[in-house]
Amino acid sequence: GENVEQHPSTLSVQEGDSAVIKCTYSDSASNYFPWYKQELGKRPQLIIDIRSNVGEKKDQRIAVTLNKTAKHFSLHITETQPEDSAVYFCAASIYSNYQLIWGAGTKLIIKP
């Protein structure tokens, strides 16, 4: 079955710098890759997603890139701000399978 690995588990960056979180997946049939942000004590919320027919997607300061050959995808946050501090989860799923397989999460700390 599918397995998703996420790195790093903790990432500390200076405010204003960029942050990159990486995930690898094992099943080449996976075709949907969402990223969720979870602030302390709150529910996970979708921040961006990408489908396998696209290599990159951007939404303001957030971007996701997908390398299907290498089976990895990454979240890029530019010009980080204090409100970006949270835990970020990646996930992968196959269209025909109802399952989202989750990474273990990355705690992003933005240092002032």
Partner 1 sequence: EAQVTQNPRYLITVTGKKLTVTCSQNMNHEYMSWYRQDPGLGLRQIYYSMNVEVTDKGDVPEGYKVSRKEKRNFPLILESPSPNQTSLYFCASRKERGNQPQHFGDGTRLSIL
DSSP string, 28-41: TT--EEEEEEE-TT
Rg of the Cα atoms in the chain: 13
Among 97, 110, 111, 112, binds partner 1 (CB under 8 A): 97
| 96 touches partner 1 by CB under 8 A | yes
CA distance 79 to 18: 6
What single DSSP character describes residue 2? -
Interacting residues with partner 1 between 28 and 87 (CB under 8 A): 31-32, 34, 42-46, 49, 51
- Closer residue to partner 1 (CB): 18 or 97: 97
User: Where does this chain bind partner 1 (CB under 8 A)?
Assistant: 31-32, 34, 42-46, 49, 51, 89, 93-100, 102-105
